[in-house]
Amino acid sequence: MQKQKQKRLRWDRIALVGGVALVAAYGLAAVVPDGQDYDGSDSEGRVATVLSPELEASGSAAVPAEPVTEKVLPAPAKEIPARAKVEAASVGPVPSGPLPRKGIAPCSCSKYTMKLARNPYTQHQKRARSLPGSFFVKNESELQAGFGRGDLVRVPTVGNGYHLDRLTHSEPFLLPSAFNVLEDMASRFQQAMEGTTDEGASIRITSLTRTQTQQRKLRRRNANAFNGQSTHNYGASFDVAFIDRPDESVKCGGPSWALQSILQDMQKNGEILVIPEGNCMHITPRKS
């Protein structure tokens, strides 16, 4: 009789352990964003575990973020003309502590974590071709030529309120109008964070201008990447995939809400076109 009782107790323990493992597995699956949209340009083919404001509140485990490095290209043949709104070399003061920190998971910026209206990709394509200085970047030589004549400006690795991710399938250049939008968006975000407990959070830009070759390589690596002339091929678009936290005390709720509000306001005022993707926000300037 005592042996039968012990046997029942063992099965109860096995059932309890199995139930805990199932709940843990479900929770882990919820943290990993599923799928990518038309472009797959969020992290240029990379997949990262991130925290949404809701998941972070439930105490999800942090995952180390990738370090930011800059891809350096040879210097242009001549300086950017004065007509360009932004000096490519003017990096400005470097904010303290905004870059990805080991062991601190970033906050997700995607259609699953932010509510923004979707502007059709045809609108993005039409605008990309009509922006001042716009041209199809076929290869690195044309990229350098566009930079030399001032049609493209170099995006600093770190700016006010933003920083660049490790770029594997794009180059740190944009049309001046797209760069102005990026700086305006990030500056508003930084101002919203100042003086709050979320100060030090920084927007991570994961994709900028792509050559035709890079687009094809991304297509081979990621079947969801756009098969054709992407707006990234015109230097007209950039992707925001994450908000990096300086430390664990900064939660995702405040920074995510602030960035969502800023993007909604810019979209409403006709400043930007947006496509909320599975792993990022794809942004194109609406105004010159």
Cβ burial 78-99 (10 Å sphere, 16+ → b, else e): eebeeebebebeeeeeebeebb
227 with 133, same domain: the answer is yes
CA distance 204 to 195: 21
27 with 39, same domain: the answer is no
24 with 120, same domain: the answer is no
190 with 112, same domain: the answer is yes
14 with 117, same domain: the answer is no
- For residue 264, which phi and psi values (nearest 5 degrees)? -60, -40
184 with 250, same domain: the answer is yes
243 with 169, same domain: the answer is yes
More confident call, 79 vs 208: 208
Each residue's pLDDT tens digit, 50-82: 677 765 655 544 433 344 444 444 444 444 343
Average pLDDT over residues 217-234: 68
Average pLDDT over residues 149-156: 96
215 with 132, same domain: the answer is yes
240: containing domain: 35-285
**Six token digits for residue 263:** 């993007």
pLDDT of residue 51: 74
Residue 244 · residue 186 · CB < 8 Å: no
89 with 110, same domain: the answer is yes
Q: Which residues contact 196 (CB under 8 A, 6 or more apart)?
A: 254
Residue 100 has pLDDT above 90, yes or no: no
Residue 24 has pLDDT above 90, yes or no: no
Residue 1 has pLDDT above 70, yes or no: no
- For residue 42, which phi and psi values (nearest 5 degrees)? -50, -60
Using alpha carbons, select from 234, 68, 47, 54 the residue that is nearest to residue 138.
234
Structural domains in the chain (count): 2
pLDDT of residue 218: 74
119 with 5, same domain: the answer is no
**Six token digits for residue 215:** 């687009």
Q: How confident is the model at residue 28 (pLDDT cuts 50, 70, 90)?
A: very low
Average pLDDT over residues 202-209: 96
pLDDT of residue 8: 52
10 with 63, same domain: the answer is no
pLDDT of residue 278: 94
In this structure, are strands 158-159 and 272-276 parallel, antiparallel, or unpaired? unpaired
Q: How confident is the model at residue 168 (pLDDT cuts 50, 70, 90)?
A: confident
R_g over Cα of the chain: 22
Is the model's pTM score more than 0.75?
no
Mean pLDDT of the chain: 77
pLDDT of residue 72: 43
Residue 120 has pLDDT above 50, yes or no: yes
219 with 150, same domain: the answer is yes
pLDDT of residue 33: 33
More confident call, 207 vs 102: 207
Each residue's pLDDT tens digit, 8-21: 545 566 555 565 55
